[in-house]
Chains A and B, each alone.
Chain A
Amino acid sequence: MELLNLINDIQAADPEFADRISPRRAAIKNITSFGSKVAVAALPFAFSTLFKKAYGQTATPSVNDVLNFALTAELTEASFYNTAFARAGLINSADSNAIGLIRTDENNHVNFIRGILSSNESAANKARSTAPIVAGNFNTWFDFSGGAKGTVPGAGPFADVFNSYAIFLAVAQAFEDTGVRAYKGQAGFLKGNKTVLTAALNIHSVEARHASYLRRLRLLRAPSTVPADFRPWVTGDMTTASGITVTTAATAATNPIYAGEANVTQGGVNIGGIVSTKAATEAFDEPLTSADVVNNILSNFLKTS
């Protein structure tokens, strides 16, 4: 097996290779499972992951790093929904039970993660308040217009987020779909920690339920803002059909949310021919790195990082 010889060669040249690819020997355990057909089929995929791990990242995030990252996303969501419920007439009364549940979930997630982190909560997260924004669309910590990178607060592409139900639903979808990808991208860093990994997975699926519901709601309540076949699941990378797009600036702000979702190669297996390329992209949601989430998405909404 050429690849295993390669590992030996690297080991000779770089005695710390094994530690680089995994301080906990997870990668070595991976190698021992390569005897089966499944693993051989997955080799190129698995090895590219190993090398990225070994040399592409400066450090593996700690469990506290992961939790603080998740908390930042949850604080953003909680503040967003708390503000929406403080605005009379924004939320359709027929939807307030469901969106109220989403709001409760996000506030519960904040409290749950804070409870685990305790004194390890980052200073930036500690400073962030989820109290409703009384007027306008921004406060000291958040800019829900999506304009946090701009020079004028509250003047981003979603400036009417708390005046227009359609835009509110679009931004809510953006946060939930981002949340799904954000948690998914962190699962590997929690491997081996049964309690935190399982809790993260149990939040991840709740975010996906939220995203599904909000997408469905947009089709029912604001059909003119989404394609006729808009779905609770993610079709392709949505660069032309996100339904979130209201302006060119909004497209720039939301394209990173779906970048990479057109992938049809899973675990080294091309699944595009099983039914259709479209269905293949829908059947698997894709992860995002914390850097992609923070730098390309949350940075539009977080006034302080």
Chain B
Amino acid sequence: MPDPIDFNSWTCPLPLRDYDRIVIGHGGGGKLSAELVEHLFLPAFGHDSEAELHDSATIDLASLMAGGGFGGTGSNGPRLAFSTDSYVVRPLFFPGGNIGDLAVNGTVNDVAMSGARPLALSTGFILEEGLEMATLAVVAQTMGQAAKEAGVRLATGDTKVVDSGSADLMFINTAGVGVVPEGVDIRPARATPGDVIVVSGNIGEHGIAVMSKREGIEFGTEIVTDSAPLNGLVEVMLEASNDIHVLRDPTRGGLAASLCEIASAADVGINYEETAVPVPAAVKAACSFLGLDAVSVANEGKLIAVVPPDSVDSVVSAMQANPYGRETTVIGKVVDQHPGVVTARTPLGSTRVVDIPLGEQLPRIC
């Protein structure tokens, strides 16, 4: 019989008592992933469990140049941002793209979400023995093109080959560095009651595109991945406002996971209008027949911005003028009620709690 659990706060240093092995859900971007970081990695790495968790780390440049170390987390001077992500998508090729697109755009976006201008990526390949050279070549070329479009350099890399059967043909890790301009302070904890929440376009496309090719689930669709570099979009947003509070790219776990993480990090409530969230008809249909919720489906070319009310108009106009933000819409706001909890107003006028997905999104029958 497990000890009584206080469901309001996961007190540390509790071990991950529920699992003695890693399960697929730990990589799903939802609660299980967050727990893994909070209860296993952070303590092991010697970090304060209160430490802010967001997509990239920053190093204060002035402090660095003066021979110092990381610098305080409160620094507003120019900072170096760096981030890493690994790409293990299966299948490697999906409608509209391949793992190479994700590997470049994903990390470019991670870096950009802290307001940084991405400069360069490193690329680490873990290849399965037997992988076709032609496949690798296509992926590499895709990465080259994506880097060019994003305006970043693929600066350094590494390749390892493992036994057949271990690597699902190909895993890619990319780490990115960028520079956060002076005065820019973008992180989840900055979400403040009264702020407006904006999304840069249609949600659910990437996850559905990938799922349409999954064995046992396949279906025909015109939906393609939305994988895209968002650093250009972020730049025009920063020009429009010097006080953007939060930027987040809703990848694994979708819009729901990102909003829940922001609400939790800033200890604020979030409320959004379901009817305001742009979901393409085909994504709705796929979610309908599989029993998925579009707000929990991954995106690879969209961002969420949390913006103070007086900046909304200028930010939204700037976004809509950019090729990657044409369908930008306001979807909700940050509130001081129900801190840490995200709610959605349904078309019928009722309110439902939106929870962070537990692990992998799976089709259901019931």
Is the A/B pair a real complex? no
Residue numbers of A with Cβ under 8 A of B are none
